[in-house]
Amino acid sequence: MQKIVIIGGGASGLHLATRLGHYFNFSQGLRRRRKSPSVQVTLVDKNRTHIWKPLLHQVAAGALDANMDALNYQVHARANGYEFQLGALQSLDRKQRLLKLGAVLDDDGCELVPARELEYDYLVLCIGSQSNDFSTPGVRQHCVFLDSSEQAQKFHQQLLNHFLRLETCVEEKLQIAIVGGGATGVELSAELVDAAKLMGNYGRIHSDAIEITVIEAGPHLLPALPARLGNNAEKELGKMGVRVLTSCNIAGASASGLTTGDGEEIPASIRVWAAGVKAPEFLSHLDGLATNRLNQLEVTTTLQTQSDPHIFAMGDCASCIDGDEQRVPPRAQAAQQMATLTANNLIALFEDKPLKHFYYRDRGSLVSLSKYTAVGNLMGALVKGSLTVEGRIAGFAYRSLYRMHLAAIHGWPKAMLLYLVGQANRAVSPRLKLH
């Protein structure tokens, strides 16, 4: 039996495992496992559950309950024809086509599962990215990151603790500083404004007691979008009471706040770093696989690594120049497109068919400002060039992205059912998670 191992259960890795599990391990057209599957597909992740990364800012602000919206890998694997292994990639032996997973520990550091080895015929690395602190002094020690569900929930607990101190008059004011005016920083700031207003309804906290500052090094917010959209987002945040600083670099962080390159002190009880991304550092030491300065694996247009054709890489951890000779940006839509091509190419390898080359197609970008509005641009076959969208239309398009993600991993019938269940839960539950 041939073995495909996928490291990383993010949106692209989960999409790939689902597609390959169905193709190799279910009878054609039937939801029935084959008695003798030709290929074993194994997904490896260090977490037991998956949550769509673009929703982490909602988890952090309390607008979304991660425990309700998370997908359990073990359950999903059983229903979709692949295997799941809990663990983190520790080392790789390309000559033996062998990888080692680290031991699984409990919260007290006790070993639950010892370190293990997995054989593979083809390996897919889709480990994602993490925030890039650019070696800024104090950031790692004093700032919160939103790279995972655990970090988002940690931020949420800090937020609730400060809300309690405000309500009991231990604190007079809560100051939150967000470094990075991209999608994460803008969306988080809008969600926090909404959270502050809801706390005013639930308790004795006045919304004026919470000050939010967004700091962007570039000349306008949302640097990946046209300047006009970034400026519009800044105006909307200004109406909500958010302070926006553009063309502002951060030189350091401390327990009391941030220091700008001009020496200005920005006091903040909670400091969030959402500026720039890079791949995990251990990839640059993974048995000689070629990487760039951001630790991304160098891949060909077939998404095979330049160092080893038996290893694929996709998503934020891959450095790719596509068939049109354009560099592929680290965005969710790029990762999804890569997952589709990787699935097709792995199937082609087993069926002795030629591999296809990757061509990135920019479908536009959308940014949500909580319940207030959304901004972005759409691109594609139905839109000649680029169409700027704002307000309700942009909000509807933004919410549709999550439904499309659910459809990719569950199919449309179950995706719509999950959406309806989620809407029902939100109708009967508090709008803000307070635990």
Tens of pLDDT, residues 336-350: 999 999 999 999 999
Q: Label the pairing between strands 98-101 and 89-93.
A: antiparallel
* Residue partners of 349: CB distance under 8 A and separation at least 6: 122, 355
Question: Within a domain: residue 435?
Answer: no
The domain of 417 spans 364-427
Indicate if the pLDDT at residue 386 is higher than 70: no
Tell me the C-alpha to C-alpha distance, in Å, between residue 187 and each of 90, 178, 211, 242.
34, 11, 16, 12
Of 297, 322, 350, the residue that ends a domain is 350
pLDDT band at 381 (very low <50, low <70, confident <90, very high): very low
339 shares its domain with 402: no
Reported confidence tier of residue 388, pLDDT bands at 50, 70, 90: low
Going by pLDDT thresholds of 50, 70 and 90, the confidence category of residue 382 is very low
374 and 335 fall within a common domain: no
CB distance 104 to 115 below 8 Å? no
**Pair of tokens at residue 388:** 């700027």
Query: What total of structural domains would you count in the chain?
Result: 3
SS3 (DSSP) at 421 = helix
Residues 6+ apart with CB under 8 A from 373: 236, 390, 391, 394, 395
- For 239-269, the pLDDT digits (tens) are 999 999 999 999 999 999 999 999 999 999 9
Asked if the structure places residue 357 within a domain, the reply is: no
144 has which bridge partners? 272
Mean pLDDT, rounded, of the chain: 88
Alpha helices per DSSP H over 44-182: 56-61, 66-69, 73-80, 139-142, 149-167
pLDDT above 70 for 225: yes
For residue 383, what pLDDT is reported?
45
Q: Are 304 and 249 in contact (CB under 8 A)?
A: no
Question: What is the dihedral sign for C-alpha 29, 31, 33, 37?
Answer: positive
Same domain as 187, residue 86: no
Greatest CA separation found in the chain?
70
Report residue 12 as tokens: 């692209």
Residue 142 is predicted with a pLDDT of 96
What pLDDT band is residue 364 in, cutting at 50, 70 and 90? confident
Q: Is residue 411 part of a domain?
A: yes
Q: Is residue 355 in a domain?
A: no
Question: Does residue 167 share a domain with residue 99?
Answer: no
- Residues 153 and 255 reside in one and the same domain: yes
In a shared domain, residues 266 and 139 = yes
| Closest C-alpha among 19, 44, 48, 24 to residue 34 | 24
Residues 140, 224 within the same domain: yes
- The average pLDDT across 406-420 equals 83
- The predicted model scores a pTM of 0.89
- Same domain membership, residue 260 and residue 137: yes
Amino acid at 348: A
- Pair 141, 261 in one domain: yes
Tens-place pLDDT, residues 54-112: 889 889 998 888 777 789 999 999 999 999 999 999 999 999 999 999 999 988 889 99
Return the pLDDT at 168: 86
Range name among 48-57, 348-357, 409-418 with the lowest pLDDT average: 409-418
Are 188 and 272 a contacting pair, CB within 8 Å?
yes
CATH number of 78's domain: 3.50.50.60
- pLDDT tens, position by position, 313-323: 999 999 999 98
Q: What is the pLDDT of residue 81?
A: 92
316 and 373 together in one domain: no
How far is Cα 261 from Cα 238, in angstroms, rounded to an integer?
23
- The more confidently predicted of residues 408 and 132 is 132
One-letter amino acid for residue 124 of the chain: V
Is residue 358 domain-resident?
no
In a domain, 241, yes or no: yes
Q: Which one of 245, 273, 301 terminates a domain?
A: 273
pLDDT of residue 412: 84
Q: Which of 304, 328, 350 is the last residue of a domain?
A: 350
* Residue 45: other Cβ atoms inside 10 A: 23
22 located within any domain: yes
User: Are residues 143 and 261 located together in one domain of the fold?
Assistant: yes
Is 286 in the same domain as 326? Answer: yes
